Chains A and B, each alone.
Chain A
Amino acid sequence: GNSVTQMEGPVTLSEEAFLTINCTYTATGYPSLFWYVQYPGEGLQLLLKATKADDKGSNKGFEATYRKETTSFHLEKGSVQVSDSAVYFCALNYGGSQGNLIFGKGTKLSVKP
């Protein structure tokens, strides 16, 4: 079946460090891929998305590239800030009869000043 695997946390970084959160997926066909962010006490917000192979999603300094050959969608940011502390979820979605979002288990990021 379809699934998403992301690196386990928590991840603790110093301000201005480079961030990578790994995400791989198992799916047939061509899903769309997403990263969501959940700040403390809040719901989920869409951070970025890519809807086909080789697309790069980007937002707020975060980037992720849809790699079909490695079934990956790793999240990166060149210089994290304290305000980036949150839980990050990788997810996939097909639409249609299989349209429900499939989430990874989430990765908690803490950025220290």
Chain B
Amino acid sequence: DVKVTQSSRYLVKRTGEKVFLECVQDMDHENMFWYRQDPGLGLRLIYFSYDVKMKEKGDIPEGYSVSREKKERFSLILESASTNQTSMYLCASSMNNYGYTFGSGTRLTVV
């Protein structure tokens, strides 16, 4: 089975901190995605990547950046965390036409 591993399950950070959320997949998937999930708003795409060093903005990229230096790893970076970035963050990977696999999520609280 494909595994998508997110480095932290729960995270508490202070306003203004730089925050790194790490995601690793183990099945050589080309596509990787970062979503955030908020009550009443559902899942929204932040950034995605089709290949190493390639990235594209999703629907809500403001305040975030990403890095994909290796195929298996896709990092989400909050340059200066703010309280409105408190959310559940979900990473996913996919191979074209072969379905999605999601990580178990990181619940980030910014205080």
A and B: interacting chains: no
- Which residues of chain B have a CB within 8 Å of any CB of chain A? none
